[in-house]
Amino acid sequence: TTATQESAKGRVEGASMSGAHPHDSSPQYLRQPSGAHQPVNNGWDNSGGWDDGGQIEPAPEQSVSAYASGGLLTQLLEIAESEDASDLHLTAGAPPVLRINGKLVPVEAKIMSPDDTEAALRQILSDRDMDRFYEHRAIDCTHTTPDGKGRFRVSAYVQRGAVTVVYRRIPSDVKPFNSLGLPPACAKLHTLKDGMVLCVGPTGCGKSTTLATIIDQINENFNYNIITIEDPIEFVHRHKRSLVNQRELYSDTNTFQEALHFALREDPDVIMVGEMRDLETMRTAITAAETGHLVLSTLHAIDSISTIDRMCAMFPTEEQEYVRMQLSMVLRAVIAQRLIPTKNEMSRVMCAEFMLVTPGVANMIRQGQPALIYQAMETGASVGMVSFDKQLVALARKGIIDPDLAVRQARHQKGVADALGRTASLRT
């Protein structure tokens, strides 16, 4: 056990346990995971399940959850911060689990009961929000730790009749552009006056962080009215040279589409939509970009080319040709992001594709020619474009990621394998 772990253990063991069940004499409720981030021996078996077979045991009658006082939750969130975990998972039938460098690592703690997970959620929600949670069986919100230093995006839902909560860490400050690991040409996106810029990728790849940085660059350099629509608000922006008005779903507005509709009447220069989740939001966002505003948003897509196809596919078949024409006129750029494990698997590194919509690319979008778009990206280095495959090759040649992993992650495996002197293999 490292000195850091002993220190964390001491803090937890000495913490107040007010609100705990009087017969619960376990002072060792929480400890940090091992320094090597290996699962500790607390019911975790090699098959990935818990020793109890995954059964959710009800809490004893009349018991009061040890999480009811809030102290244990605060300590777990502090451990997530100190371990640089991206997420904390609280699930009935399992101990608390951290996600560190993309891997799930259980904290050495008692297996949580349904009462524990519900009590942990009650610590951060108002009565009104708890009512909304019970109505919809799911909720998203943000939580700030009592000392004001840690902020988390919280997603809670019901599974098998019990509450599950996921806390995702939000960096305390907006990151400067040069720390994001994005292609250099992305640094100029904040100078755009109109059109649409999309940041795409899987959950947890840093899309919100990238948009927050672009918003901050605009805020520092231009006198604009910026309106953001988020679920929930993650990064809190101060007014610098711009006004930054941030609206949160359910607290300040009912839907993305409704807020976006009203935003068009609120004299905006820049509109940021946290995520385009449905057809009407996407339709209104395209209209906003057509009418002289800069629209920033995110989408779940694997790369730049699939982004265009996915957007068009959300519309009825008879509208898709017209939507392609609209996108060819309003889309300015797509950043597609992934986080790739480093060679030593101790961290992850940004691998980002950048598609700039040049007149040639705009024509390919209009004509529905994705293969030609990819070729344009491969040969578009002079204007700052870069494909995932080129980024993977560059990271592997620098020794940052494993060459075989680069091949498995590639869109065109043979080309990357040839560039790295490897044999193409099936994705795993």
Q: What CATH number has the domain bearing residue 132?
A: 3.30.450.90
Tell me, yes or no, whether 258 and 143 share the same domain: no
Domain membership flag for residue 403: no
Nearest to 308, CA basis, from 318, 321, 295, 294 = 321
Residues 209 and 161 in one domain: no
Instruction: Find the helix or strand (DSSP H, E) in which 119 lies.
Output: helix 114-122
Cα 404 from chain centroid? 26
Confidence (pLDDT) at 424 = 67
Residues 165, 192: one domain? no
Q: Are residues 182 and 162 in the same domain?
A: no
Position 252 scores a pLDDT of 94
- Residue 105 falls within a domain, yes or no? yes
Instruction: Name the average pLDDT for the chain.
Output: 86
Q: Are residues 278 and 361 in the same domain?
A: yes
pLDDT at residue number 309: 94
Q: Which of 111, 146, 170 is the last residue of a domain?
A: 170
Distance, CA of 178 to CA of 378 (rounded, Å):
23
Q: Say if residue 314 is in the same domain as residue 232.
A: yes
Sequence-ordered alpha helix ranges (H) in 185-224: 207-221
In a domain, residue 420? The reply is: no
Q: How far apart are CA 172 and CA 175, in angstroms?
A: 9
Q: Which pLDDT does position 425 carry in this prediction?
A: 63
Q: What is the pLDDT of residue 427?
A: 53
Token digits of residue 134: 């019970």
248 and 182 share one domain: yes
pLDDT value of residue 12:
35
Give the residues of the chain that fall short of pLDDT 70.
Answer: 1-63, 424-428
| Strand-pair category, 103-106 with 97-100 | antiparallel
Q: Estimate the share of the chain in helix, then strand, then coil, as percent rounded to the nearest 5.
A: 40, 20, 40
Domain count, the chain: 2
Helix (H) or strand (E) holding 378: helix 370-378
Residue 293: per-residue pLDDT: 98
Within this chain, do residues 236 and 251 fall inside the same structural domain, yes or no? yes
pLDDT digits (tens, 9 = 90+) for 332-366: 999 999 999 999 888 999 999 999 999 999 999 99
What number of residues does the chain have?
Answer: 428
Do 75 and 156 fall into the same domain?
yes
Residues 166 and 232 placed together within one structural domain of the fold = no
What's the rounded Cα separation, in Å, for the pair 158 and 138? 7
Examine the domain organization and report whether 188 and 255 are in the same domain: yes
Distances 277 to 6, 238, 301, 302, 353 between C-alpha atoms, Å: 45, 27, 12, 16, 22
Within-domain flag for 409: no
The predicted structure's pLDDT at residue 299? 96
Range of the domain at 141: 3-170
Q: Within a domain: residue 425?
A: no
Per the domain annotation, does 401 fall within a domain? Answer: no
Task: Answer yes or no: do 190 and 150 share one domain.
Answer: no
Q: Give residue 131's pLDDT.
A: 94
pLDDT at residue 147, as a whole number:
85
pLDDT at 46: 36
Distance of CA 107 to the CA centre of its chain: 22
Residue 298 resides in a domain: yes
Q: 210-233 pLDDT, tens per residue?
A: 999 999 999 999 999 999 999 989
Q: Where would I find the H helices in 26-102?
A: 71-82
Domain boundary among 170, 194, 223: 170
Give all strands of the β-sheet with 294-299 in edge-to-edge order. Answer: 243-248, 225-230, 270-273, 294-299, 195-200, 331-341, 348-356
Instruction: Please identify, among 129, 145, 170, the residue that sits at the C-terminal boundary of a domain.
Output: 170
Q: What is the pTM of this model?
A: 0.79
The answer to the question of residue 28 being in a domain is: yes
- CB-based contacts of 276-280 (< 8 A; 24+ apart in sequence): 276/311, 278/314, 279/314, 279/315
